[in-house]
Amino acid sequence: MTDQLSKAFAALADPTRRDLVARLAADGDATPGELGAPYAMSLQAVSKHLKVLEEAGLVTRSQKGRRRPVHLEADVFDLMTKWIERYRREAEERYARLDAVLGNLTGSDDRERDVS
Amino acid sequence: MTDQLSKAFAALADPTRRDLVARLAADGDATPGELGAPYAMSLQAVSKHLKVLEEAGLVTRSQKGRRRPVHLEADVFDLMTKWIERYRREAEERYARLDAVLGNLTGSDDRERDVS
DNA sequence: AAGTTGTGCAACCAGAAGGTTGACAATTGG
DNA sequence: CCAATTGTCAACCTTCTGGTTGCACAACTT
């Protein structure tokens, strides 16, 4: 799980982290304390979640006095949507071609192909 | 981790599963045996991965004789891209407004823009 | 009928994930 | 300077994950 894409998907697999991202997107930068306030979990747990988001590249943290505001980085979102959209498009195109073939022939056996 | 979105993100957090999805998108339906052939792992492990993909709604399995072809379902992709794009857009809009405010402070006459 | 093939299920294991508490580092208000 | 505030790090526990092996079982082949 070392690559960026895996980390990004894994980061967003957790509802709490998705909520953190949603709130950062809606309200802008916020500190761990502010971010953690709504949840019934320790600040340390929130800090861990933020670390996961940071290592996934979804978030950066800076130091403003003794506060450490968290900032959402939108770039990784592009990485994810590109991956998803690529294969969704490929699948759709493939099914479109299949439909075309079925429409033309009404019955043909083209199977038994090795997956490289 | 009961909701669909969490399962979908978690499913794609694994490189092997992303590869399975990629190949299903490129080559169309395939059996577990065909799908597992390229990997240095047991067929049972592949079967587990397919189960994860199935429970995430990314894939369906049918029964054709003793073969159980796996079929890619593109719908869940939409769910994921919608989530991602929504918050990316919110974040970008927020930063755009911030830029506008900063622009105003430095003497520009740029006004607030409605973006929805 | 008997064997082979394709696939799933259960038990087990090591390591990662997500939470807890306790200690500690840094900044700053008094 | 002292102490409160803000947050991280470390150790620990429990649950989840991803792999293994062994077995079951239905469905083709011969």
- Does the structure show a pLDDT above 80 at A113? no
Q: What is the 3-state secondary structure (H, E, C) of B1-53?
A: CCCHHHHHHHHHCCHHHHHHHHHHHHHCCECHHHHHCCCCCCHHHHHHHHHHH
Whether residue A78 is contained in a domain is answered as no
The whole-chain average pLDDT of chain B stands at 87
Tell whether B81 and B49 lie within a shared domain: no
Which nucleotide has its C1' atom closest to residue A66's CA? C27
Residue B113's pLDDT band, with cuts at 50, 70 and 90, is very low
* Range scoring the smallest mean pLDDT among A61-65, A79-83, B3-7, B44-48: A61-65
Q: Tell me what pLDDT residue B104 has.
A: 57
Q: Tell me what pLDDT residue A102 has.
A: 60
Interface test with B, best of A77, A85, A92 (most B CBs within 10 A): A77
Q: Tell me what pLDDT residue B101 has.
A: 65
Q: Which domain holds residue B33?
A: 4-73
Mean pLDDT of B84-109: 74
Tell whether B9 and B63 lie within a shared domain: yes
Q: Which secondary-structure segment (H or E) carries A60?
A: strand A59-61
Interface of B with A in 8-37 (CB under 8 A): 9-10, 12-15, 18, 21-28, 30, 34-35, 37
State phi, psi for A74 to the nearest 5 degrees.
-85, -10
The whole-chain average pLDDT of chain A stands at 86
Residues of chain A with C-beta less than 8 angstroms from the C-beta of B90: 25-26
* Range scoring the smallest mean pLDDT among A26-35, A88-97, B74-83: A88-97
Sequence length of chain A is 116
Whether residue A97 is contained in a domain is answered as no
- Does the structure show a pLDDT above 60 at B75? yes
Structure tokens at A48: 């861990």
Mean pLDDT of A80-91: 94
Compute the count of residue pairs across chains A and B with CB atoms less than 8 Å apart: 103
Percent of chain A exceeding pLDDT 90 equals: 71
Q: Tell me what pLDDT residue A41 has.
A: 96
Mean pLDDT of B43-55: 97
Torsion of CA B100, B101, B102, B107, to 10 degrees: 90
Whether residue A49 is contained in a domain is answered as yes
Q: Tell me what pLDDT residue B99 has.
A: 67
Q: How far apart are CA B114 and CA B116, in angstroms?
A: 6
Mean pLDDT of B94-98: 76
Sequence length of chain B is 116
**What CATH number has the domain bearing residue A21?**
1.10.10.10
More confident residue, A62 or B95: A62
Provide the number of structural domains found in chain A: 1
Mean pLDDT of A64-92: 92
Q: Tell me what pLDDT residue A2 has.
A: 83
* β-strand partners of A60: A71
Tell whether B39 and B69 lie within a shared domain: yes
State phi, psi for B102 to the nearest 5 degrees.
-65, -40
Tell me if A91 and B72 make a contact (CB, 8 A cut-off): yes
Of A12, A85, A113, nearest to B9 by CB-CB distance is A12
Tell whether B65 and B78 lie within a shared domain: no
Interface test with B, best of A9, A20, A58, A83 (most B CBs within 10 A): A9
Residues of chain B with C-beta less than 8 angstroms from the C-beta of A78: 88
Q: Tell me what pLDDT residue A45 has.
A: 97
Question: Distance, angstroms, CA A76 to C1' C12?
Answer: 38
Percent of chain B exceeding pLDDT 70 equals: 83
Whether residue A95 is contained in a domain is answered as no
Mean pLDDT of A99-116: 49
Question: Distance, angstroms, CA A106 to C1' D22?
Answer: 45
Tell whether B59 and B105 lie within a shared domain: no
Tell whether B82 and B66 lie within a shared domain: no
Instruction: State the nearest residue by CA to the C1' of C25.
Output: A66
Q: Does A112 touch chain B (CB under 8 A)?
A: no
Q: Which residues contact B10 (CB under 8 A, 6 or more apart)?
A: A9, A10, A13, B1, B52, B56
